[in-house]
Amino acid sequence: MKAIILAAGEAAHLSPFSETRPISMIGVAGRTMLDNTFALLKSAGINDIFIVVGHKKDKLIERLQQQDHNGLNLHYVEQKRKLGIGHAVMQVKNKISPGEYFLLLYGDTLTAENIFSKVQQSFHSFKCPVASICLPPSNQMFGNVFLNARMEITKIVEKPKGNNLGNYVLSGVFILPASFFKLLESSGKSMEKALKKVVAEEGLRASMWEDEWLDVVHPWEILTVNKMIMDSWQESSIAKTATLEANVTLQGIVRIEAGAIIKSGAVLEGPCCIGEGSYIGNNSLIRSYTSVGKKCSVGSGVELKNCVVMDNSQIGRLSFVGDSVLGENVDMGAGCMTVNRTVDWKPISVKNGKRPMETGMTKLGAFLGDGVVVGAGNTLQPGTVVAPGKILPACYSVTQK
């Protein structure tokens, strides 16, 4: 069975990270979201994968061409115009043979366990189109589904308003027949209308997904996904070429990749991961749910707590980064601090665009886009968002004047 991954969307709500990369290329738990999807597809026995690309496609393709994908056959199909999900699916029409079924998945959803194997099991049981469904914390932002006693989907309501809410939502994974493309064309390339036609004509069965699932919509949800994946780890791994000096303390499940250097006195509290070729300075504290990407540099005496630091970033000595996400090539000077709570412990809002968004979280730090430079001695307020390439001058208490 072939898989189609929709990875063309821009997702403005995920700024500042979606401005410089496709959503699926955001780093979590030591690898990109797309890498995590590849691993699950491979485990489910699916090797032929078509990726619909669009927003920042060159970055996605260049990164994937540099990697070894363990036998996966990757193909790229471009959606040149931003005309919606149904239009993106239509780009792969000629890749699916008549009578063939295909696996369709959204590139911005993530699970730690293998949702694709579960959908395949349901497909082989029902012998008809299948849609994965789940119970999210909130179902107002997703396609709600209604079921009968035979696990048949009877109604789909896209992003319902008021009290017209179903118990379950579409989790962004489907097994559909090649005839679905005709339904898309006759529905004006509307994914919602085409799925409703499947429900009315051939029937659409539900595959219940009961493990954790997340559609990454807001930047702070990167931390949620990072934790979700790390919680699924069963064992530690330390590459043979990694260097751990004397008096390094490892607690819990820790993953250290090739060429990483952990200096004397450092403490790593799992689950956490240190990427290939990264440097962790003397007496640093890497706390639980911290992901340090490839070729990063963490200075001496730094504390990292529940944060995602993407590739090629550096953090100066005696800094604290907590409950935060740092993009690629971020340069944070010495003695910087991300404040991760308010003095009265009220939930933190994030102003990411024109209006602030409530997160419901009482601990949340900063979100720094790719290429941000933070001068030494800066203190970043809870929920701060810094656009890619922004330079924050060093914060001096005494100047030459």
DSSP for 105-170, written as a single string:
EETTEE-SS-HHHHHHHHHHHH-S-EEEEE--S--TTSEEEEE-TTSBEEEEEES--TT---SEEE
DSSP-H helix ranges across 17-100: 33-43, 57-65, 85-90
pLDDT at 139 > cutoff 80:
no
pLDDT at 356 > cutoff 90:
no
CA-closest candidate to residue 76, choices 6, 10, 124, 22? 6
Return d(Cα 255, Cα 35) in angstroms, integer. 16
Question: What would the two tokens of residue 290 be?
Answer: 């911290």
Assign domain 2-217 to its CATH architecture.
Alpha-Beta Complex (3.90)
pLDDT at 44 > cutoff 80:
yes
Q: Where are the domains of the chain?
A: 2-217, 237-392
Question: What would the two tokens of residue 168 be?
Answer: 């379950």
Taking CA 115 as the corner, what is the angle to CA 126 and CA 32, rounded to the nearest 5 degrees? Answer: 150
Backbone phi and psi for residue 58, each to the nearest 5 degrees, phi listed first? -60, -40
Q: What is the pLDDT of residue 43?
A: 94
| Average pLDDT of the segment spanning 138-142 | 59
CA-closest candidate to residue 146, choices 215, 195, 109? 195
Convert the pLDDT of each residue in 45-97 to its tens digit: 999 999 999 999 999 999 888 887 778 999 999 999 888 999 999 999 999 99
User: What residues form DSSP beta bridges with 386?
Assistant: 368
Residue 346 gets which letter from DSSP?
P
330's CB contacts (< 8 A; 6+ apart) are: 309, 310, 313, 314, 368, 370, 371, 372, 373, 374
CATH class, range 237-392: mainly beta
Tell me the average pLDDT of the chain: 92
Q: What is the pLDDT of residue 136?
A: 76
